Amino acid sequence: MSAFLLDASTGADWQYCEAETKEVYRRSEGLAVATFRMFCQGIFSSNPDFPWQADFRGLSQLKLETLAAGFQVSRDNPLVGLTGRLELLQRLGNAICQHPLLFGSENQRPGNLAQYLLDSLVSGVKTVDCAKILSAVLTGFGENWPGKYAIGGVNLGEVWRHRALQGENLGDEFVPFHQLSQWLTYSLLEPLQELGLYVVRLDELTGLAGYRNGGLCLDMGLLRAKDSAIFEQKYLPGSEVVVEWRSLTVILLDKIAAAMRYKLDLSATKLPLVKILQGGTWAAGRKIATELRAAGVPPIHIESNGTFFNS
């Protein structure tokens, strides 16, 4: 869970050197390895007898200097949005206390969500809809995601406005991405299956509108900018350029999936979108970006404060 929260844009200058292997990692890979090492060191746990866990006290009481040391941040190795990442983790610790049904009433941990899903099954039934997992994620972590908009006091999460969308209903102008929530849902599938659950209706989730997938679409020529000046500027996550780019990425991911299934003569059941994302488009987007641009930066530059999930 912590790895997802921390995976926002790092900036082009940050890197992480893994002490155990001496390997150097950057961007999403660096954040993942650094977070895993912090987890192994018990940084997210408040109980020294159980260091390999993330609990509400360990998260909510985390200090900036501890997180900075874990990420090897220094004057020569700056990490974009370090304070924003800390605030997200602290909010996570507070958020899980608000949902005892999902995260337990004692020793509240994000990992208790798996037990909730197991307990919610009808006796003798071992199948769970993918949408049910996403619903639990949105409910349990919804207040933690950085959101700009709310309806009826409810944080809408990762949605953005686009002026081309007009309608008579409240919220018609919003484009819902929920990238982190869906990414977390996808990542829970394998662990839940190892617990004996059979996850069905995977097609109820969309592709992930991050800069790796979106970058692939631009770098491969599937998308073309009407004005090349777009690549020379920086944009906030809510800018129409970014919202439109991400929206088109979601659409194209479905088309890429259909083309791959046709090419390989596989059904959606045999080759679901989640496999295409992780092993295909995301990895390809990263590889092509590294070949085209220094440090593998995305083709469109997004300003980040560490709370926008754009990998």
pLDDT tens-digit profile of 6-20? Answer: 666 677 789 999 998
Instruction: Please report the pLDDT score of residue 5 as a whole number.
Output: 62
What confidence tier does 205 reach under pLDDT thresholds 50, 70, 90? Answer: very high
pLDDT tens-digit profile of 260-289? Answer: 999 999 999 899 998 899 789 999 998 999
Instruction: Please report the pLDDT score of residue 180 as a whole number.
Output: 84
What's the chain's average pLDDT?
A: 88
What confidence tier does 125 reach under pLDDT thresholds 50, 70, 90? Answer: confident
Instruction: Please report the pLDDT score of residue 6 as a whole number.
Output: 65
Q: Give me the DSSP letters along the chain.
A: -HHHHH-S---SS--EE-TTT--EE-HHHHHHHHHHHHHHTTTT-S-TTS-SS--HHHHHT--HHHHHHHTT-BTTB--TTHHHHHHHHHHHHHHHTT-HHHH-SSS--GGGHHHHHHHTSPTT--EEEHHHHHHHHHHHHTTTS--S-EETTEE--SEEE-TT---SSTTTTEEE--HHHHHHHHHHHHHHHHTT-EEE-GGGS-----HHHHHHHHHTTSS--S-GGGGGSEE-TTSHHHHHHHHHHHHHHHHHHHHHHHHHT--TTTS-HHHHIIIIIIHHHHHHHHHHSGGG--SSEE---S-----
Instruction: Please report the pLDDT score of residue 305 as a whole number.
Output: 58
307 pLDDT more than 70 = no
pLDDT tens-digit profile of 154-200? Answer: 788 888 999 999 888 888 999 999 888 898 899 898 889 888 888 98
Average pLDDT on 211-236 reads 93
Q: Which residues pair with 301 in a beta bridge?
A: 234
Q: Please choose, from the candidates 221, 203, 171, the residue with its C-alpha nearest in 3D space to the C-alpha of residue 269.
A: 203
35 pLDDT more than 90 = yes
Half-sphere exposure in the Cβ direction for 292 (13 Å, CA): 15
Instruction: Please report the pLDDT score of residue 267 as a whole number.
Output: 94
Instruction: Please report the pLDDT score of residue 278 as a whole number.
Output: 79
Half-sphere exposure in the Cβ direction for 128 (13 Å, CA): 26
Q: Please choose, from the candidates 71, 1, 73, 5, the residue with its C-alpha nearest in 3D space to the C-alpha of residue 38.
A: 71
What confidence tier does 147 reach under pLDDT thresholds 50, 70, 90? Answer: low
What confidence tier does 308 reach under pLDDT thresholds 50, 70, 90? Answer: low
